[in-house]
């Protein structure tokens, strides 16, 4: 019998054993003991295959619950705990299993539907319902009173399963480009039964706290994130909201005097007239429609238009009777306006005119009822404007259809300015990486522009079939810590490597690479280095070791007294790391790592933190995996002070580098005489950001401004024949090409020429 047949039989036997064991787990182990039993099974059999079968049971149980439609049974079921346990058992190799993929995807979909059914039931049960209008994926506060509504859902490319939808039941969802958040208001009027109806926006909320918060000139409290801290700060929990609302008929934002930011003669009419993409004739027209329909409002219209105070943002909370009256009054007025107005040539903002007009009509409605003595009990609250409401994305394990290659997760950290360098490093990595693996790249960032993300994603998708890229915004995680660097050549982004253990929880092992590298070797070899119980694998830092051996003894003293290291010569360089994220999570939570990083005594900040807390649990890599360049002659001036064996090993590695590290201030996008300059541009010139890198290099290479050229210099060469730049420019932009003209334009712009 051949080896392949034996192997196939062994695999089949193993699969049947695990299948039978999983059935025993489901049928014979009590629900109370299932999670503990799953942990035991994790150590006894293939964790991935066992997790796959837990997902099989999750799939079946969730489907049965959905078919029964019993929300109470859904709440009482242990199926959510099983689902979480299966994901916990996932480990680093789950994507190798087609069985896991099949069961996981089905379980995930059914569990999402179970969660939605429970959430919808919770929302429907509320007597105070404040609807949060959103047209994109945003973060949400915890609770059941604040309920997201996807506006414009009828025409949306993506339907948000975490929200209610304004296209259900009786609706005007298709009018969202004109009516804005009013489509949520109309939907609630026609389809929701509540005691109180409230409306706010995905970035603007009421402040229900008793604290007076500082406002800007427009009367808004400015904050950053939708998170537990801001929820507590503005009392946006269910109990606080209910308590603040109870007993009132109408709650609005505070009345604002527009003269705070306009001239002293400003009126509500002149304010509208000053809007560059709106037309005051529309305001006049809607008020005419209102007075024609309701003559008793004429005085209130005049008072409002001639006044200088109003309630803005179209946010309010109303008792049922008031809300019903308001909607029955408002929507016929707007309908008449939209059916008689010609907005065919309006700008996109101009098309939103009905939404803008409704903000003014709300003021007139309230003014009228105050004047005639409706007896409503009213309250005003501050308005909180959150600058970064977008969904706080955390990476997910990507399971592409039909690709069962083992996964290697790789993390980078960068900002928007470093995108060209990041792309070059990633490109060199993928160009030399084994095709036997898939590479899940996660970029930890705060500000990488959307267009840059698209450029990167499209570039790699067009070149490689085994890489996926996810961009993870880490703003809120790091905002809670005082993270600064004491080295001008180290950016705050280096701290992001501490976030990997939290943001990539499905992997027990992750590669971290700096963004100023060229990867010549196969990173699958690096990933497959055995770590055992060690926390990470890294290369000893020859620069640091050279400093340790200096006669002044300062670095050796620092290592022992500040870092607390027993062996200063164990210090490693953190630009290339294979991280045992499971062990790092067990050693310290992410909050503790970032707390360590806030210590301003450290010279190399995050690198010092890792060395201080990982000593004794490091697998040391050959120097090939992190060969630092000869920045400012540091090989002779600093590296040569390291122990002889270390220095010899480093020098030997420069003949067969697997990763070249452009550490220090000399960078190949800044100076042509940078060590390993040509190597960098072998890869950089093939990326979509080559012109940006060229502009940086060109700018840095320009001599000091000279006297204006004479007429005979009009056709001088942009770069001399013997310039190192020619080695880069000529392959990228041959003579006579449009790209050559672009680079010439860049050069002229950098030199201040027309």
Based on the fold, state whether residues 245 and 369 are members of the same structural domain. yes
The band of 124, judged by pLDDT with boundaries at 50, 70 and 90, is very high
Answer yes or no: are the C-beta atoms of 446 and 473 closer than 8 Å.
yes
pLDDT at 601: 81
Based on the fold, state whether residues 247 and 384 are members of the same structural domain. yes
Q: Is residue 609 in a domain?
A: yes
Q: Is residue 45 in a domain?
A: yes
Pick the last residue of a domain from 354, 388, 422.
388
pLDDT at 733: 61
Residue bearing tokens 């027990």: 508
Please determine, for residue 668, whether its predicted confidence score (pLDDT) is greater than 90. Answer: yes
Q: What is the mean pLDDT of residues 326-332?
A: 98
Q: Which residues contact 103 (CB under 8 A, 6 or more apart)?
A: 52, 53, 55, 56, 58, 59
The residues pairing with 576 across neighbouring beta strands, listed in sequence order, are 513
pLDDT at 20: 81
Based on the fold, state whether residues 92 and 131 are members of the same structural domain. no
Based on the fold, state whether residues 131 and 113 are members of the same structural domain. no
Please determine, for residue 620, whether its predicted confidence score (pLDDT) is greater than 90. Answer: yes
Range of weakest confidence among 47-51, 95-99, 562-566, 577-581: 95-99
pLDDT at 365: 98
Q: Report pLDDT digits (tens) over 241-275.
A: 999 999 999 999 999 999 999 999 999 999 999 99
Answer yes or no: are the C-beta atoms of 207 and 213 closer than 8 Å.
yes
pLDDT at 703: 67
Question: CA torsion sign, 664 to 665 to 667 to 673?
Answer: negative
Based on the fold, state whether residues 181 and 311 are members of the same structural domain. yes
Q: Report pLDDT digits (tens) over 569-606.
A: 999 999 999 999 989 988 888 778 877 877 778 887 78
Q: Which residues contact 477 (CB under 8 A, 6 or more apart)?
A: 499, 502, 590, 594
**Into how many domains does the chain fold?**
4
Q: Report pLDDT digits (tens) over 462-508.
A: 999 999 999 988 877 766 665 554 444 445 565 677 788 878 887 88
Q: Is residue 239 in a domain?
A: yes
pLDDT at 9: 62
Q: Is residue 163 in a domain?
A: yes
Q: Report pLDDT digits (tens) over 184-219.
A: 999 999 999 999 999 999 999 999 999 999 999 999
Look over the chain and give the mean of its residue pLDDT values, rounded to a whole number: 87
User: What domain range is 348 assigned to?
Assistant: 126-388
Please determine, for residue 1, whether its predicted confidence score (pLDDT) is greater than 70. Answer: no
The CA distance from 544 to 558, in Å, is: 11
CATH number at residue 470: 3.90.550.10
Between 366 and 732, the higher pLDDT residue: 366
Based on the fold, state whether residues 21 and 140 are members of the same structural domain. no
pTM for this predicted structure: 0.72
pLDDT at 46: 64
Answer yes or no: are the C-beta atoms of 277 and 347 closer than 8 Å.
yes
Q: Is residue 300 in a domain?
A: yes
Pick the last residue of a domain from 123, 148, 174.
123
Q: Render 284-315 in DSSP notation, one character per residue.
A: HHHHHHHHHH-GGGHHHHHHHHH-SEEE-TT-
Percentage, residues of the chain above pLDDT 90:
66
Q: Report pLDDT digits (tens) over 505-554.
A: 878 899 999 999 999 999 999 999 999 999 999 999 999 999 999 999 99
pLDDT at 94: 43
Q: Is residue 393 in a domain?
A: no
Based on the fold, state whether residues 143 and 84 are members of the same structural domain. no
Based on the fold, state whether residues 83 and 116 are members of the same structural domain. yes
Based on the fold, state whether residues 94 and 137 are members of the same structural domain. no
Pick the last residue of a domain from 97, 123, 149.
123
Q: Is residue 693 in a domain?
A: yes
pLDDT at 735: 56
Based on the fold, state whether residues 301 and 438 are members of the same structural domain. no
The CA distance from 79 to 58, in Å, is: 6
The band of 325, judged by pLDDT with boundaries at 50, 70 and 90, is very high
Q: Burial of 581 by CB count in 10 Å (0-12 exposed, 13-18 middle, 19+ buried)?
A: buried
Based on the fold, state whether residues 259 and 173 are members of the same structural domain. yes
Please determine, for residue 8, whether its predicted confidence score (pLDDT) is greater than 70. Answer: no
Based on the fold, state whether residues 633 and 746 are members of the same structural domain. no
Q: Is residue 394 in a domain?
A: no
């Amino acid at each position: 019998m051949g080896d392949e047949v034996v192997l196939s039989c062994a695999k089949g036997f193993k699969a049947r054993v695990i299948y039978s064991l999983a059935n025993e787990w489901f049928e014979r182990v009590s629900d109370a003991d299932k999670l503990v039993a799953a942990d035991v099974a994790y150590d006894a059999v293939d964790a991935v295959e066992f997790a796959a079968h837990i997902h099989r049971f999750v799939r079946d149980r969730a489907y049965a619950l959905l078919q029964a439609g019993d929300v109470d049974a859904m709440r009482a079921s242990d199926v959510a705990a099983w689902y979480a346990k299966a994901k916990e058992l996932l480990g680093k190799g789950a994507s190798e299993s087609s069985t896991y993929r099949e069961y996981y995807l089905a379980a995930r979909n059914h569990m999402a539907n179970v969660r939605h059914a429970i959430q919808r039931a919770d929302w429907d049960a509320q007597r105070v319902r404040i609807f949060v209008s959103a047209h994109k994926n945003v973060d949400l506060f915890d609770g059941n009173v604040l309920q997201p509504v996807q506006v414009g859902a009828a025409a949306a490319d993506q339907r948000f399963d975490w929200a209610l939808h304004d296209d259900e039941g009786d609706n005007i969802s298709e009018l969202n480009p004109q009516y804005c958040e009013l489509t949520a208001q109309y939907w609630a009027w026609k389809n929701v039964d509540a005691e109180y109806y409230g409306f706010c926006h995905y970035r603007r909320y009421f402040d229900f706290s008793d604290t007076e918060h500082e406002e800007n000139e427009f009367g808004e409290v400015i904050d950053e994130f939708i998170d537990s801290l801001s929820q507590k700060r503005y009392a946006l929990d269910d109990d606080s909201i209910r308590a603040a609302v109870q007993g009132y008929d109408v709650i609005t934002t505070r009345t604002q005097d527009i003269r705070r930011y306009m001239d002293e003669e400003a009126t509500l009419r002149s304010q509208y007239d000053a809007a560059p993409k709106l037309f005051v004739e529309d305001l006049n027209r809607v008020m005419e429609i209102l007075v024609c329909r309701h003559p008793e409002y004429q005085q209130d219209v005049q008072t409002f238009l001639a006044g200088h105070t109003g309630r803005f943002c179209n946010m309010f909370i109303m008792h049922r009777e008031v809300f019903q009256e308001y909607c029955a009054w408002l929507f016929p007025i707007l309908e008449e306006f939209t059916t008689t107005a010609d907005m065919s040539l309006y700008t996109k903002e101009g098309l939103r005119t009905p939404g803008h007009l409704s903000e003014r009509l709300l003021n007139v409605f309230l003014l009228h009822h105050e004047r005639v003595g409706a007896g409503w009990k009213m309250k005003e609250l501050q308005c909180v404007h959150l600058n970064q409401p977008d969904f706080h994305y955390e990476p997910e394990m990507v399971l592409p259809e039909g690709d069962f290659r083992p996964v290697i997760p790789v993390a980078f950290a960068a900002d928007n300015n470093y995108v060209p360098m990041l792309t070059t490093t990633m490109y060199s990595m993928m160009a030399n990486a084994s095709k036997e693996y898939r590479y899940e790249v996660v970029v930890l960032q705060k500000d990488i522009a959307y267009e840059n993300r698209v450029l990167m994603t499209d570039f790699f998708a067009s070149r490689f079939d085994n890489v996926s890229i996810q961009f993870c915004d880490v703003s809120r995680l790091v905002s809670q810590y005082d993270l600064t660097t004491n080295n001008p050549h180290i950016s705050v982004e280096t701290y992001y490597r501490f976030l990997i253990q939290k943001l990539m929880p499905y992997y027990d092992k992750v590669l971290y690479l700096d963004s100023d590298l060229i990867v010549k070797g196969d990173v699958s070899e690096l990933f497959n280095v055995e770590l055992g119980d060690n926390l990470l694998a890294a290369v000893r830092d020859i620069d640091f070791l050279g400093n340790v051996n200096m006669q002044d003894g300062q670095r050796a003293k620092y290592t022992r007294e500040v870092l607390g290291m027993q062996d200063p010569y164990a210090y490693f360089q953190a630009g290339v790391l294979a991280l045992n994220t499971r062990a790092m999570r067990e050693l310290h939570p992410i909050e503790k790592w970032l707390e360590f990083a806030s210590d301003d005594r450290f010279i190399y900040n995050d690198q010092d933190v890792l060395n201080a807390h990982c000593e004794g649990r490091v697998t040391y890599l050959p120097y090939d995996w992190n060969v630092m360049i000869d920045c400012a002659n540091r090989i002779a001036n600093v590296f040569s002070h390291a122990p002889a064996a270390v220095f010899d090993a480093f020098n030997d590695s420069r003949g067969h580098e697997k990763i070249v590290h452009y550490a220090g201030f000399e960078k190949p996008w800044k100076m042509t005489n940078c060590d390993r300059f040509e190597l960098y541009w072998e890869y950089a010139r093939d990326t979509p950001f080559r012109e940006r890198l060229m502009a940086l290099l060109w700018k840095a290479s320009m001599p000091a401004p000279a006297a204006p050229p004479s007429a005979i210099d009009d056709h001088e060469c942009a770069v001399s024949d013997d310039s190192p730049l020619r080695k880069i420019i000529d392959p990228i932009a041959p003579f006579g090409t449009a790209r050559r003209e672009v680079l010439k334009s860049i050069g002229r712009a950098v030199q201040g020429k027309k």
